[in-house]
Amino acid sequence: HRPIIPNRIGARCADRRRSTGRTEVDRIRAHRSTRPATRVAAALAALALVLSGCLSSSQTQDIDYINNTRASYGKSALSADLAAANKAQAWAEHMAATGVLEHTGGGSKLDTSGVSGWCAYGENVGSGPTLSGIHHAFMQSGPHKANILGNWHRVGTGVYRDGGGTVWVTEIYLRNC
């Protein structure tokens, strides 16, 4: 059985190369303009490619579930935090390996080394047969729902499917200083 996440966030992201051998980022850089608005748009597009190359489809799907839910409650979208996603992914894999659903550090303070610029954090952990089912269960639980809808700015998610088919999820929410 293959995990949902074939590689860790901290691992080197694969280049998305076309037949020309150039990456999408190289292609965008090749079309630079002297106009500031065009340069900003190109930089944002390059950033989106880098982020999409580093987050798995399951992590992106979890962030979409979170942001779609937030939007339905009139809340602003959270941006993806790759350092927090790396921590979340490692913890989802740890829970799958041990078969124990628990908060990072066994409920003690979250290891935030490498995650910067935050003043407060929240965390959801869950397991179940599907990612959508876990998100639905979070929304039925007061504390988990409060984290999803909380006054946060960034989120990092980890999603891992073990050999038995169980999906393990960690969501780390961050409030900027």
Domain boundaries, the chain: 57-176
- With a pLDDT cut of 70, the percent of the chain lying above it is 65
Supply the pTM of this predicted model.
0.69
Q: Say which residue, 177 or 128, is predicted with more confidence.
A: 128
Q: Which fold has domain 57-176?
A: Pathogenesis-related Protein p14a (3.40.33)
Give CA separation, 33 vs 22, 25, 37, 48, 51, in Å. 19, 15, 9, 19, 23
- Model confidence at 176: pLDDT above 80: yes
- Model confidence at 8: pLDDT above 60: no
- Model confidence at 123: pLDDT above 50: yes
Q: Say which residue, 112 or 35, is predicted with more confidence.
A: 112
